[in-house]
Amino acid sequence: GATISRIVLLDSSGNQLGYVEGPPTNPWLLGLEEAAERILNLVKDVLINSNRQSTETLAHLGLSLSGADTEANQNELVDAIKKHCPNIAQEIHICNDSIGTYLTVCDKVLISGTGSICCYVRENLTFQRIGGYGHLLGESGSGYWIAQRMIKKLISSDDKIIDTTYNLDNVRRVIYAYFNVENNLELLQHFYTNFSKNKIAGLCEHFSQNKCNMYLESIMSSPRLFYVVISSRRDIIYRSKQLHLLFISCLPNVSSFLPVARNGDQLAKDVFHDAGVQLAQHVRAALYYYVMRDIIYRSKQLHLLFISCLPNVSSFLPVARNGDQLAKDVFHDAGVQLAQHVRAALYYYVMDSMSSNQNLTVVCCGSVFKSWDLIRDGFKDFLKPSEDSKWTGTLELVQLKHSAAYGAARLSVHFNSKVTIPIDSGVQFDKILFGVNF
């Protein structure tokens, strides 16, 4: 994945001989050469961990990686590995990380960690993929999605682009403390200059539970005091009596989409319509400051309120599990997003089976499921059956007892009948009734 890689060394009966954790190995994010180098280092480390020579040749090397989706890029990665170490293994097999999870147990796979992906996998290992296109094009309901959505709501509310009834004080404190910033503009470095998808996704955990000690330690060690300053901002905003609005487009070739929209393509028209709404929201936000001018500046005095965040560690406590409504709503929305992935997978399943009632296993993998109590209601509400449901059944949600690296090793079972690596039965943690129409 985008956060961590795990490698297990097994014998032909499935007994574990070694285990090592290492950095992420996604070839899309790292490039083929760096991904290959990290994989080779993991193999060497696990051989050493099992008291073997680091140059020993493996019978099978099974790789279950995010970013390894097509036969073409799988072959390219194999070539990159063999170029650096031709004798690493007698056979190398690569699959997507969701297939590795599937091979560890069975049926359908829903992964939501730093990113998200859902796959409906058939017995012959052909599969239908839902999502998993990276943080720019998809991964709804993932840790990154939750964190980015929370930050965007905070910024949009502060800029008056959206109206909100949420009390944002607690969310603001958690975000600022996590990134060690004092204002929204300082967040930009974490999304551009020093962008780390894993770092941003890690914020999700801090919205779901209390992480006070780490914040307190980081704040106490800082030479700066953190203050919330409420001021008139008179000199900044109103140097001119006129209201100036400036729109800067970041899309140099946006005109290339215009003929499609003007020729009636509904998606293109809707996207341009939404773009108009977004720009209008910016104008409305600017108008807020304009119309509020007379209200705010009836007094010539400048009022400042300094609030120190240092002495009161309890200020970090009220996040999702302690009632913060914005955090709870975003986790609920994440549950809906993940349920949409499962519904898409159910389409392929019911088309294959044509049975109106099914009991299915869904393997849930990733750190976001540590917050299942916050996600569950959105997930359940989206899939709940109704009188009109054509296909109904039960989803048995399970988590792995072992690493999905076992599934990567089990790739060899499909190519060598002498290998007998057992299946992990998984641990059931919930049952959800579903009803769908297609």
DSSP class per residue in 291-335: HTHHHHTTS-PPP--EEESSS-GGGG--SGGGT-HHHHHHHHHHH
The reported pLDDT for the residue numbered 256 is 44
Classify residue 355 by its DSSP letter: -
pLDDT in tens, 228-251: 323 333 333 333 334 444 443 333
Mean pLDDT confidence for 193-202: 83
Please give the residue range of the domain that contains residue 293.
231-303
Report residue 414's pLDDT band, with 50, 70 and 90 as the boundaries: low
Residue 129 lies in a domain: no
Rounded Cα gap, residues 144 and 332, in angstroms = 15
Percent of the chain beyond pLDDT 70?
61
Instruction: Give the domain-ending residue among 250, 271, 303.
Output: 303
**Chosen domain end from 303, 323, 358:** 303
Residue 367 lies in a domain: no
pLDDT tens digits for range 259-306: 444 555 555 455 555 656 666 665 665 555 445 544 444 433 333 333
Tell me what pLDDT residue 244 has: 42
Q: Is residue 84 part of a domain?
A: yes
Residue 133 lies in a domain: no
CB 348 within 8 A of CB 120: yes
Within a domain: 44: yes
Tell me the pairing of strands 5-10 and 16-22. Answer: antiparallel
pLDDT at 47 over 90: yes
Instruction: Give the model's pLDDT for residue 305.
Output: 31
The C-alpha atoms of residue 37 and residue 47 are separated, in whole angstroms, by 16
| CATH number of the domain encompassing residue 66 | 3.30.420.40
The residues with which 21 forms a beta bridge, in sequence order, are: 6
Residue 108 phi, psi dihedral angles, 5° rounding = -105, 155
Please name which of 308, 328, 309 lies closest in space to residue 320, comparing C-alpha atoms.
328
* Dihedral sign (CA 163, 164, 169, 175): negative
Contacts of 391 (CB under 8 A, 6+ apart): 346, 350, 356, 357, 358, 435, 436, 437, 438
Q: How many domains does the chain have?
A: 2
Determine, yes or no, domain membership for 284.
Answer: yes
pLDDT one-digit tens code per residue, 245-270 = 444 333 344 444 444 445 555 554 55
- pLDDT the model gives residue 156: 84
The one-letter amino acid at 217? E
**Which of 257, 288, 303 represents a domain boundary (last residue)?**
303
Domain contains 213: no
What pLDDT does residue 254 have? 45
Q: Establish if 26 belongs to a structural domain.
A: yes
